[in-house]
Amino acid sequence: MFGNYLIGLREGLEASLVVCILVAYLVKTDNRASLRPVWTGVGLAVGLSLAFGAGLQFGTQELTFTAQEAIGGSLSIVAVGLVTWMVFWMRRTARHLKAELEGRLDSALAMGTGALVATAFLAVGREGIETSLFVWRSVDAADDGAKPMLGAVLGILTAVVMGWLFYRGALRINLARFFTWTGGLLIVVAAGVLAYGVHDLQEARFLGGLETKAFDVSSAVPVDSWYGVLLKGTVNFQPDPTVVQACVWVLYVVPVLVLFLRRPKSPQRPARSAEGTADGAAGGTAQSPAGAPAQEPADGAPGASTDGAGGSGESSDEPSTRTS
């Protein structure tokens, strides 16, 4: 349940921030008449996500056991790939998200209503498809499908409330820390989903080693105990994984976490030439050509409401984020 709450919160908050940026920009530029197409695109994206999830849930029920396991295992791997790409994408591009979305919105305004609908639909729909796929896999693997679904719904509702508070200016959080912590936790959750996907492929006889257990701690961690349920609900812990499952879990979670938590390298300024250094030492402070002032980096431009949301290496004293 916790894993699905986390994915619902993370994906829902990203979608909420996107909607807040689009709506705030239209209001700020006095384009309130264009709000209806934006909300239409958001509604279509939500509808597509629900339809996609329903298709996954009900479309596989008539298949054979082998086919269900093969599809479930394959889609688990796809879901893990999407989630992994998402956390790294947000880490890399969130700093420029506001400017990028506003640029797209300017182009859409020039093109007409259809472009506005498409802009909102594509921006929100991607998050919805990822959420539907990940939640469906968790529901399919759980003994009680209601709990994972409830966790996802609660996460999305929390994200919607937070998005509204962002827009109203009533909530300020450090998005750099938020996306770093949730991204790291999602990687661990995704590793468990990947291991379950491998187990499904083993049961479908696409992979061997189903009978070869890496360890079995079922007696120490019963699956029906409160701590067994907690571990399974948070990190998809399995007390008796196969050797292949254990190897895949380690080979995924260790390098991915290291890459995700690694401090990004700061861009280095070009070194002065020896001649320029000598001239500066002899004549005082060196002037730029034609006395032009040095330009500030584009990343530091004021008004980027999602600054600092994109990595774990940002300063902790960075101002909190607002979307308006």
| Residue 165 scores a pLDDT above 70 | yes
Question: For the chain, what is the radius of gyration of the CA atoms?
Answer: 24
- Tens of pLDDT, residues 139-150: 776 666 677 788
Q: Give 231's strand partners.
A: none
Side chain identity, residue 2: F
- Structure confidence at residue 44 (pLDDT): 94
For residue range 47-66, list pLDDT tens digits in order: 999 998 888 878 777 788 88
How confident is the model at residue 318, as a pLDDT?
39
Mean of all residue pLDDT scores within the chain: 77
pTM above 0.85, yes or no: no
Range with top average pLDDT, 20-29, 41-50, 181-190, 281-290: 41-50
Beta strands in the chain (DSSP E): none
> Could you tell me if 31 and 116 are in contact, meaning their C-beta atoms sit under 8 angstroms apart?
no
Long-range contacts of 259-266 (CB under 8 A, 24+ apart): 259/88, 260/87, 260/88, 260/91, 260/183, 260/184, 260/187, 260/312, 261/180, 261/184, 261/312, 262/312, 263/312, 263/313, 264/311, 264/313
Can you give the pLDDT at residue 170?
A: 64
Average pLDDT, stretch 80-92? 85
pLDDT at residue 321 is higher than 90:
no
Residues 6+ apart with CB under 8 A from 207: 198, 201, 244
Look at residue 249 and tell me whether its pLDDT is greater than 50: yes
Q: What is the pLDDT of residues 171-229, one digit of tens each?
A: 676 777 777 888 888 898 889 889 989 999 999 988 888 888 998 898 888 877 878 87
User: In the predicted model, what is the mean pLDDT of residues 85-113?
Assistant: 80
On the question of pLDDT at 43 being above 90, the answer is yes
Separation of alpha carbons 11 and 160, rounded Å: 11
Q: For residue 217, what are the contacts with CB-CB under 8 A and spacing of at least 6? A: 239, 240
